[in-house]
């Protein structure tokens, strides 16, 4: 990884091959579950980005450098999207008459946020999102579907095991209202800092905001609860707070936990009542995942339900989505020394070149291999074979082919073992040529 521009990471070829593999696995699993690919523009009107509650300091404005002054004013209203949910919701709103609902799409694209860069937090980062949006009530079974999808997708990736934590904004809001707290958003934001600043500081801030010490303690008690299944909703009720919205939220949360557990590994998804998620637009289920062994690194995936993002006021288009932070996931793994692999190229075979006069013969052999779908490169050098072998090995290429010369037949060398044998190019099959990620 390098960051010659702070916050804008770029991978080396051997790392990018891992990123491509991870993205391919994510896309394949999203398609397996019936999500269709989509690509939206990088730019959105700043007003729409701000509407969704993102603080403006994180948004990158965009304008043509040589735009006339009056044009500039107009154009300065464009900004780079900071996630893929807002553009998707805007797209669905625009195309509501051309799409069929429920509409499931996935999207793998960069997003931009002008935050202070640090490990895992970047100003440009690739996200892989899957969302379903519909044009009517969105049953809780969609929440179940999306959390399952996220769980299964993560389980298919060559990354450390992810602890998936689910909560429901209605539980939090209902609980707060049941306590007599009406200032929901600031209370949520303060509780969201729990992992970072600790319970003492959270309580202090809540009290400073006008909550009573008793209210603050109850909020902290709720945040401390972990639900292994729907039955653990009792732990919340034991706190003695009641509110219709709390009941609704607990019912939804319990159903998600129980139904995901029914087809997943036990304990693979837990109810974690401190999870709030930063984005303002969430209204129900929220989800977040961290590496089980490295919980303090931060979330590598997230998601949630939003009721009012795509609609036009008259007819709502509620949705729920999940998002895998590809760049962050990879940055953590590379940082931890995981996801190593040796290949610096997708090439399976390098064809040796005996001499520049013989290059055409090597190119012909490469064409035969490529015709069989085998990624092949002709050696750039016609130096001694030993040097050509060394160069191909340095790129992690598994095989080198030596075209017949005079009496000598066509031979293939396994560059890993050094074994070399006569082969027929039309039938030869390589072994272990796929990327191996450790």
Q: Which of residues 76-95 bind a second copy (CB under 8 A)?
A: 78-80, 91, 94-95
First-to-final CA distance of the chain: 18
List 126, 216, 222, 400, residue binding a second copy (CB under 8 A): 126
Sign of the torsion angle spanned by Cα atoms 93, 99, 100, 103: negative
Query: Residue 425 carries which DSSP code?
Result: T
Site string for a second copy, 358-397 (x = CB under 8 A): -x---x---x--x--xxxxx--x----------x--xx--
Residue 154 touching a second copy (CB under 8 A): no
Residue 61 touching a second copy (CB under 8 A): yes
List 46, 191, 317, 333, residue binding a second copy (CB under 8 A): 46
> Residue 98 or residue 424: which is nearer to a second copy going by CB?
98
- 355 token code pair: 């001499």
Q: Which of residues 344-363 bind a second copy (CB under 8 A)?
A: 344-347, 359, 363
- 403 token code pair: 């075209």
> Residue 343 or residue 413: which is nearer to a second copy going by CB?
343
List 6, 12, 214, 387, residue binding a second copy (CB under 8 A): 12
Distance of CA 248 to the CA centre of its chain: 29
- Kindly state the smallest distance separating residue 144's Cβ from a second copy, in Å: 10
Which of 274, 262, 419, 328 is closest to 117 using CA atoms? 328
List 6, 41, 242, 421, residue binding a second copy (CB under 8 A): 41
8 A C-beta contact, residue 174 and residue 248: yes
Residue 42 touching a second copy (CB under 8 A): yes
Is residue 349 classed as helix, strand or coil in its secondary structure?
strand
> Residue 67 or residue 231: which is nearer to a second copy going by CB?
67
Residue 4 touching a second copy (CB under 8 A): yes
> 43 forms bridges with which residues in the sheet?
80
Site string for a second copy, 319-348 (x = CB under 8 A): -------------------------xxxx-
User: What string of DSSP letters covers 97-154?
Assistant: TTS-SSEEEEEEEEEE--PPPBTTB-SEEEEEEEEEE-SS---HHHHHHHHHHHHHHH
């Amino acid at each position: 990884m390098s960051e010659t521009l702070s916050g804008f990471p770029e991978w080396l070829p051997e790392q990018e091959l891992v990123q491509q593999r991870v993205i391919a696995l994510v896309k394949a699993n999203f398609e397996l579950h019936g999500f269709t690919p989509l690509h939206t523009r990088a730019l959105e009107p700043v007003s729409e980005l701000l509407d969704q509650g993102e603080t403006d300091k994180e948004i990158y404005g965009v304008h043509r450098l040589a735009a006339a002054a009056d044009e500039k004013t107009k154009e300065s209203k464009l900004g780079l999207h900071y996630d893929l949910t807002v553009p998707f919701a805007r797209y669905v709103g625009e195309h509501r008459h051309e799409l069929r609902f429920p509409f499931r799409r996935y999207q793998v694209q960069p997003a931009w946020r002008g935050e202070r860069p640090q490990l895992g937090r970047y100003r440009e980062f690739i996200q892989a999102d899957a969302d379903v949006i519909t044009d009517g009530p969105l049953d809780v079974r969609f929440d179940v579907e999306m959390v399952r999808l996220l769980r299964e997708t993560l389980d298919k990736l060559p990354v450390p095991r992810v602890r998936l934590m689910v909560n429901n904004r209605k539980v939090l809001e209902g609980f707060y209202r049941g306590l007599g707290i009406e200032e929901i958003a600031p209370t949520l934001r303060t509780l969201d800092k729990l992992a970072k600043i600790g319970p003492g500081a959270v309580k202090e801030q809540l009290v400073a905001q006008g909550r009573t010490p008793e209210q603050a303690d109850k909020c902290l008690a709720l945040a401390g609860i972990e639900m292994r299944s729907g039955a653990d909703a009792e732990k919340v009720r034991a706190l003695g707070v009641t509110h219709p919205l709390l009941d609704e939220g607990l019912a939804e949360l319990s159903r998600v936990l129980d139904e995901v557990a029914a087809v997943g590994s036990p304990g693979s998804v837990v109810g974690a009542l401190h999870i709030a998620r930063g984005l303002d637009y969430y209204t129900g289920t929220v989800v977040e995942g961290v590496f089980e062994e490295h919980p303090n690194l931060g979330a590598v995936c997230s998601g949630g339900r939003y009721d009012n993002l795509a609609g036009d006021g008259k007819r709502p288009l509620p949705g729920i989505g999940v998002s895998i932070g590809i760049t962050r996931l990879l940055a953590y793994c590379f940082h931890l020394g995981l996801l190593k692999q040796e290949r610096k190229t997708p090439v399976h075979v390098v064809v040796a070149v005996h001499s520049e006069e013989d290059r055409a013969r090597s190119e012909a052999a490469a064409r035969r291999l490529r015709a069989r779908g085998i990624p092949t490169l002709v050696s750039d050098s016609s130096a001694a074979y030993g040097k050509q072998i060394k160069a191909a090995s340095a790129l992690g290429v598994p095989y080198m082919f030596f075209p017949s010369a005079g009496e000598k037949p066509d031979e293939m060398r396994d560059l890993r073992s050094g074994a070399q044998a006569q082969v027929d190019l039309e039938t030869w099959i390589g072994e272990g040529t796929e990327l191996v990620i450790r």
